[in-house]
A and B are shown apart, each in its own frame.
Chain A
Amino acid sequence: MRFAFTDDQLMFRDAVADLLANECPPEKVRWSWSDDNGRDPQLWSALAAMGVIGLTAPEAGGGLGMNEVDLLPILTEAGRAALPAPLLETTAVVVPLLAESAPDALAATWLPDLSDGSAIATISLEGQPFVVDAHIADLLVAERNGSLFAVPGANLRLTPQASVDGARRLFTAEWDEADAELIASGDAAAAAVALAFNRGAVAAAAELIGMAERMIAMTVEYVVARQQFGVPIGSFQAVKHHLADAELKVSFARPMVWNAAYALANGEPGLDRSVSMAKCFASDAAEVVARKALQCHGAIGYTTEHDLHFWLKRSWALAASWGDAGWHRRRVAALLLD
């Protein structure tokens, strides 16, 4: 038994954290809000050069052949940076799906380009109303009527849907089956879809943990510096208890997320339950932390001049994506009680 990351996994994480600190500071997130396209190809290339984008692709597909546990700390860093890029969609969901479920030729077409960053992919499962980053996607993997299709980005008809998170780009996408290639159908598609959903949920949970940690760190910094009544507001017990509650929520969501990534990587029994526990706790934690962070920042946090709102809004969005806390809690209830 060793429920912890390896030194190699942590070193990789630290390298990614350094890169994001330099290449994706809050100014980059702010730029992403205002820029039409909102996506920085150089940032994506830098991540690809480090092996991050192809992390889950097999070595034959130009990737590192790593698993969900290896990817988890990196997704947490992406959340910490509020990364405006489809790492979740491409690396956590589409790449492993293609590697496992697509016909060999189709996988061979896409995996090397996805791994080296020259192509970008996104995902649309039935029940998900919006496609993230469809405007820059070279490939959409989409579920329709129980089958999975690969749709080239050029064949998509997109309608933008503005998100409360201005760095997020959402679309409704129309496409014709004649313009798409079949990945899988029947039971194979159903299994691939179920796994893709679980992967997306765990990846979102991992990002939410990073966002929550960042919001706590920003708030600690603020309440130590901010003085009222002649003392730092962080010396007041009411403020301390808000932050202690925030730390409590994250501390007990985090191991749930590790456990779900482990279950994915090792095909553990009870996968759906592990995944839903993780997403339920991570969503709840991020929402509580966002509230506490805003409250402790006071009025400055209620402006868009301050950076905090990037994380507030991303956490609202991700908490509700890939199943919100209530959806996952109901799935756990069904698994336990029915």
Chain B
Amino acid sequence: MDMRFTEAEEAFRAEARAWLEANVPHGLPSGDTHEGFALHVEWEKKLFADRWSVVSWPEEYGGRGASLWEWLIFEEEYYRAGGPQRVTQNGIFLLAPTIFEFGTEEQKARFLPRMAAAEDLWCQGWSEPDAGSDLAGIKSRAARDDAAGGWVINGQKTWTTRGAFCNWVFGLFRTDPEAARHSGMTYLMVPLDAPGVTVRGVERLDGDEGFAEVFFDDVFVSDELVLGGVNNGWGVAMATTSSERGLTLRSPGRFCAAADRLVELHRRLAATGEHPERVASLREAVAQAWMEAEAYRLATLADVSGLVEGVSQGARSSLTKIFWSELDVNLNETALRLLGPTAELIEGSAGAIDDGAWMKAFEFSLSGPIYAGTNEIQRNVVAERVLGLPRK
């Protein structure tokens, strides 16, 4: 057991920290509105310009070839410096690993550099009105058009995060309606400006237009937009969902930084001397939230120690997903309890502490136990595939 990083890794940290401290924007509006999204894309382009947008990717696609450890270090520094959530995350953290694993050389060259540069902005098309937790129940169809060399899509996707702002969607479509439930699906990449695509923004719980419905009416996509082979979509998609549940979407840096801010909030409120009973009664809750972030950081170090030696997380990634999503809710709930009656004040209210950021973060955190496979589904996965309980 050796919990020290190497000199080279520490040098990487120092370089990342210096750059981030000089460049991270503060006070950006939410990236889940039209105006905010554009500003976030500007920030993403700046990250890319100095090769910080996808540090773990090979240099030829815009990265630095950084190791998994360096990627964790970068994430820690990114959130410590106050960096905003990445509006490119569905592309760089979810689609990209799938392209690296299943994509052709042409697909890699075509999509990865533009994704790294925030030229293409990707959203994810999994859920449909009648297929949420039961993802294999999707109905959107892609019918073969041999003459044109491609597929004609009809159907609807929903809860598509930032769908109203992106220009590409990736998702699963049924290409063999006769096949069994988990077969006959194909992973397709679809330009949102293709004829026949209609995108309708949907206001989320927090009031931002962060969701969208995407309608497909005879939308043609050519064969080179098939990822991982026709009718192989389920296996290809599962590779992506384990990225979503596990490490790549939710590195510990974000939660550790939020936990530090919670500690700072408690200290700040205690220093005012106001509402001493409330502030004092929440000391243990603040400590608990901070410890949960720390537990997540340490569990990640253990997981990555295994990964670099070839031990994959497998179904244990479901434990990871449950833990980070529930710690995030708990952390933000604790902050709201600290704020008491001012907790309900939102952005722009004169009396709001931290400009309503805690309520905003709380509302956002409530999505965690729902998306990427609800925590009820994750608990089933843990019971069946980690512990070995019978499916039926």
Task: State yes or no: do A and B come from one complex.
Answer: yes
Q: Which residues of A contact B (CB under 8 A)?
A: 1-6, 69, 216, 220, 223-224, 231-232, 234-235, 237, 239-241, 243-245, 247-248, 251-256, 258-259, 262, 265-266, 268, 277, 280-281, 326, 329-330, 332-333, 336-337
B284 close to A330 (CB less than 8 A):
yes
When each residue 274-293 of chain B gets 1 if its CB lies under 8 Å from chain A and 0 otherwise, what string results? 00000000011011101110
When each residue 82-111 of chain B gets 1 if its CB lies under 8 Å from chain A and 0 otherwise, what string results? 000000000000000000000000000000
Is the CB of B273 closer than 8 A to any CB of chain A? no
Is the CB of B61 closer than 8 A to any CB of chain A? no
Is the CB of B348 closer than 8 A to any CB of chain A? no
Complex contacts, B322 vs chain A, CB 8 Å? 244, 248
B270 close to A337 (CB less than 8 A):
yes
A332 close to B291 (CB less than 8 A):
yes
Is the CB of B135 closer than 8 A to any CB of chain A? no
Complex contacts, A262 vs chain B, CB 8 Å? 1, 3
A253 close to B295 (CB less than 8 A):
yes
| Whole-angstrom distance between the Cβ of A47 and the nearest chain B Cβ | 23
Q: Roughly how many angstroms separate A290 CA and B16 CA in the complex, as a whole number?
A: 45
When each residue 169-193 of chain B gets 1 if its CB lies under 8 Å from chain A and 0 otherwise, what string results? 0000000000000000000000000
Q: Which residues of B contact A (CB under 8 A)?
A: 1-6, 9, 69, 263, 266-267, 270, 283-284, 286-288, 290-292, 294-296, 298-299, 301-302, 304-306, 309, 316, 319, 322-323, 376, 378-380, 382-384, 386-392
B383 close to A281 (CB less than 8 A):
no
Complex contacts, A223 vs chain B, CB 8 Å? 389
> 9 smallest A-B Cβ distances: which pairs?
A240-B383, A244-B379, A255-B298, A333-B287, A244-B382, A234-B389, A3-B301, A333-B283, A252-B295
B5 close to A1 (CB less than 8 A):
yes
B295 close to A330 (CB less than 8 A):
no
Q: Roughly how many angstroms separate A3 CA and B291 CA in the complex, as a whole number?
A: 18
A1-B305, A247-B387 are known contacts. Are A258 and B4 too (CB-CB below 8 A)? no
Complex contacts, B382 vs chain A, CB 8 Å? 240, 243-244, 247-248
B379 close to A240 (CB less than 8 A):
yes
23 intermolecular pairs with C-beta atoms under 8 Å apart? A1-B9, A1-B69, A2-B1, A3-B298, A4-B1, A4-B306, A6-B1, A224-B388, A234-B389, A235-B392, A240-B380, A240-B382, A240-B384, A241-B383, A244-B322, A247-B386, A252-B299, A252-B319, A254-B299, A259-B298, A330-B283, A333-B287, A337-B286
Q: Roughly how many angstroms separate A220 CA and B388 CA in the complex, as a whole number?
A: 8
B295 close to A69 (CB less than 8 A):
no
B295 close to A277 (CB less than 8 A):
yes
Task: With CB as the reference atom, state the residue of chain A lying closest to B297.
Answer: A255
B286 close to A220 (CB less than 8 A):
no
Max chain B CB contacts within 10 Å: which of A234, A244, A247? Answer: A244
